Structure 1
Amino acid sequence: MPAPDFVEPADTEQREDVEELVVRYVRSALLMDGDEDLDLTAGYFDLGLTSLRLNDIKQQLESALEVNIDATAMLNLATLNSLIEYLSLELSAS
């Protein structure tokens, strides 16, 4: 039996869809070309995102995924990978 704090990993296909969406919005916010690498393990601010751009991305994701993202949670998720995992788990829980 798993430990009580065990979290079931998000559905792989769903995670890929969420990742594609997050990457699209972040690339757009950073004015990146499609062939530029986007480091999903880098912090938001290390990537060049500002708090205003991050808020824009949050609103786009909420609209596209039809979920509410707590602003504090968004800021506490230090990397794009952690944001993608968080959103994937939120979607699988609903």
Structure 2
Amino acid sequence: MLAIERLHELPPSERRGELEELVITEFKTTLMMTEDDELPLDMSYFELGFTSLGLTEIKERLETQLGRPVSTNVLFNSPTMERLLSYLADEVLADLFGSLSMPTD
């Protein structure tokens, strides 16, 4: 089942957690991290060791999972997972999240 299908099935209050899990999983997979490894959401992708190629691969996998385009500009110009999550919820998946924007604690 694609992530977009899971998100549709979940109540709105649970969608943020599911989206965050999807994004973190994609980044950890690319960095070859284990499930237990901590991945800071507010740290730049580049500080974490990502390259342009790695980010492009993540972008393509997210597009496949979400069935929607993800802006390359946003990915590179707002290089933290926290910002990526906000962008995905506010713009890419606005129909699923509506006014339930992701908090930036």
Q: How does 1:7-86 map to 2 (within 5 A)?
A: 12-86=13-87
CA distance in 2, matches of 1:12, 1:42: 26
Higher RCO (C-alpha 8 Å, min separation 6)? 1
Q: Which has the larger radius of gyration?
A: 1
Q: For residue 55 of structure 1, what is the amino acid of its counterpart?
A: T
| Count of residues paired in the alignment | 84
CA distance in 1, matches of 2:42, 2:67: 25
Q: For residue 91 of structure 1, what is the amino acid of its counterpart?
A: L
CA distance in 2, matches of 1:74, 1:68: 12
Structure 1 residues without counterparts, runs of 5 or longer: 1-10
Q: For residue 14 of structure 1, what is the amino acid of its counterpart?
A: R
Structure 2 residues without counterparts, runs of 5 or longer: 1-11, 97-105
- Partner in structure 1 of residue 94 of structure 2: 92
Shift of 1:85: 1.1
Q: Secondary structure at the match of 1:46?
A: coil
Q: TM-score, normalised by structure 1?
A: 0.82
1:38-92 deviations in Å (ceiling 9; x for gaps): 0000000011111100000000000101111111111111210000111112202
CA distance in 2, matches of 1:61, 1:12: 21
Shift of 1:12: 4.6
> Structure 1: which 4+ aligned runs deviate by more than 4 Å?
none
RMSD: 1.4
